[in-house]
Each structure stands twice: as C-alpha cells, then as structure tokens.
Amino acid sequence: MNDSSHPKNSPAPERARRRKSGGITLADVAKLAGVAPITASRALNTPDAVSPAVLERVKEAVARTGYVPNLLAGGLASRKSRLVAAVVPTIAGPVFMETVQALTETLAASGYQLMLGQTGYHNSREDALLDAIIGRRPDGIVLTGIMHSAEGRRRLIASNIPVVETWDLTATPIDMLVGFSHEKIGQAVAEYLHAHGRRKVASISGTDERAERRNRAFSDAARALGMAPMGQVPTVMAPPPTTIGSGRAGLAELLAKAPEVDAIFCSSDMLALGVLIEAQARGIKVGQDLAVIGLGDMEFAKDANPALTTVRLDGTTIGRTAARFIIDRTEGRPIATKVCDIGFSIVERASV
C-alpha cells in the first residue's frame, strides 16, 4: 500500500483523502502471501503462469481471508464482464423459460452470469432497458424475438457487443441468429391437418407478431389446400398471455361462428389445453369430431387427455446455442456460422 497516504501534518498540499472500503482486496491477499498484487492476480486467473510454491501461498491467503475478487474492477480493467444479458418479453410465458434456463446453465458452466431484462409485450421500455444493459458492458446480449426499434438496433450495433437474436429467422439480423421459421410452421401445420383428412380448419392465435405470422401462413396454406370452405379460415385472437381460459373461450366463440369446424390450430399449448377442456365439457370428442394441434410441446402436452398433438420448439437448444455463440465469440474462437435454423417438428399424439 501507499506509504505516503497516511495522514501526517506535512506542509505539502494536502488534498482529497479517500474512502478505503474496508473490504478485502487482492492487495491484502498479495501482502499476506508475500507477493506483488499482479502475481496474486495471475495465481487466480492463470495458475499455470506462476510457480507452484506461489500458487500454494496465494491460495492459502485467499482461504484465510475469504477474499472474493471484485469482478467490477476486473471487468473494468480487462474489458470482459463475464456477464451476458438476455432480453425477453416476459418470463411468465413458459415459452421463453426453457431458453432462459438453458442460457443460465450453459453460461454458468463457463463462468458467465446471466442478466435478465423484461420488456413486457410493449416495446416502450425496450430503449431504456437497452441502455441499462449496454452500460454494464456485457460480453453478449441475447434477444428473444427481434429487436424492433430502429434506435435500439442502432445502439446495439454501435455498442459493438455480440448480439444473438432468437426465436425467429430474419433476413437482416443485427449480428447472430438462432431460430426457426414461423411461416414454415404455419404451412406445415396446414399440410399436416390436410394429410389427416381435415377439411374445415380454424385457428386460435395469440396477438403477438410471431403468432400472427404463423397464423397468416397457416391460413394461406389452408386456403390453398381447400380447407377453408367459406373462403377464409375462421380465427379467434387471444391477447397475451395465452391461457387455458382464453382457449376455452376461444373454442366457444369459434363454434358459435363456425360450428362445422373439424380442426383447430392453437398458437400455444395453453390455448390447446383450454380447447381440450372446453370440448370435454361440451361432449365433443377430440381426435374424432375435432382435431386440436398446439404449439410448444410443453411438459403437460403428453399428459393431456387426449394427449396433445403439437409443434415442438426446442427452447433449450436455442438457449444453449445462443450461449455457445457468445462464449465462442468472446473467447476468440472462430465460429463457423452466424445463423442457425434449429427447425421444429410436429409431435403426433391422440388429439389429431
């Protein structure tokens, strides 16, 4: 420590004396181990770069003092925060949960920590949130869904922080991309129902932008396949979050306006489960009279009665891949590609 810093009545211009936090610092550990601070730092970060004897002494000093490195200081000096930010509309929907969980786990395994930001389904908080995130100089930012405000995109690009957009494919990614095509899902579901003999399809769709794109693709394909006798596909919109309740209400509304419907595409498994429950309450035989297909393959889908046919989206793979992208980039490993289409699959069960 600086010997000249202790208060003395010297005639020299005496100025702003400073705090001294009281916490244990690397300097304390170094002193106890009888080495320079930088050596202690090396013992902790690159143990191979110091002699075994020194390593031993530093480790002991750490144990004795209970020293925990200040990663804020380390991050400031090294320009690596080992922090990754994730932005989700909300974690309350089980859709992104899986991704967030996989992210946290994969990151933790490599010594990174996750910072979580929720925008709500409105984009208003997006910009403020972005500043709060960029200000912490994370090593990467994972966006679920696309970042929308032009201002936000600009700031992200200017920040020079690796960005992974997820849960969608777009022609103009900010940086990296892990997702699947919502259009293809809508089309695939229509074809699937057609292949199973359904001819009068309908849909219950969430109002978020991605669900609407799926639904549009579904309607278009259904019309093309002649599954929309009245010229268009009856649709009920359900505001987020999609619930069992909106599923029940959705079926009721659908039957009122189009009683002859023989298949329903629900934009989430929650909605589909609601449809199942409402159908049961009305004595409609799902699987025979009515086909129901959901989206998400949530844990309960296979246990529903009847078991729910659904579009499986692998949130875990998305989270893991996104984490890998960022870790590889941060640690200077070459990455083969910046875009990853993880696809989707239709899980066939009894409800169709």
Binding site for DNA (CB under 7 A): 2, 5, 13-21, 23, 25-27, 35-39, 41-42, 44-45, 49-51, 53-54, 67, 69-70, 73-74, 76-79
Do 59 and 32 meet the contact criterion of CB atoms below 8 Å apart? no
CA-atom Rg of the chain in angstroms: 28
Indicate which single residue of 38, 76, 195, 339 sits in contact with a copy of itself (rule: CB under 8 A): 76
CB under 5 to 8 A by kind: which of a copy of itself, DNA, none does 10 bind? none
What track of x and - describes contact with a copy of itself for positions 41 through 70 (by CB under 8 A)?
A: -------------------------x-xxx
Strand (E) positions, 49-120? 83-88, 113-118
Residue 137 vs 216, nearer CB to a copy of itself: 137
Member of 108, 195, 224, 335 binding a copy of itself (CB under 8 A): 108
Half-sphere exposure of 89 (CA within 13 A, CB side): 19
Helices 182-195 and 209-224, packing angle to 10 deg? 40
Cβ distance to a copy of itself smaller for residue 157 or 230: 157
Pick from 165, 195, 332, 346: nearest CA to 263: 195
| Length of the chain (residues) | 352
Does 145 contact a copy of itself by CB under 8 A? no
d(CA 164, CA 178): 7
The sheet that has 345-347: what strands, in order across it? 235-238, 201-206, 263-266, 291-295, 309-312, 345-347
When the beta carbons of 56 and 151 are compared against DNA, the nearer one is 56
Chain contacts with a copy of itself (rule: CB under 8 A):
21, 23, 66, 68-73, 75-76, 79, 81, 83, 90-92, 94, 97-98, 100-101, 104-105, 108, 111, 113-118, 120, 125, 129, 131-137, 155, 158-160, 241, 243-245, 248, 270, 273-274, 277, 280-281, 299-300, 302-305
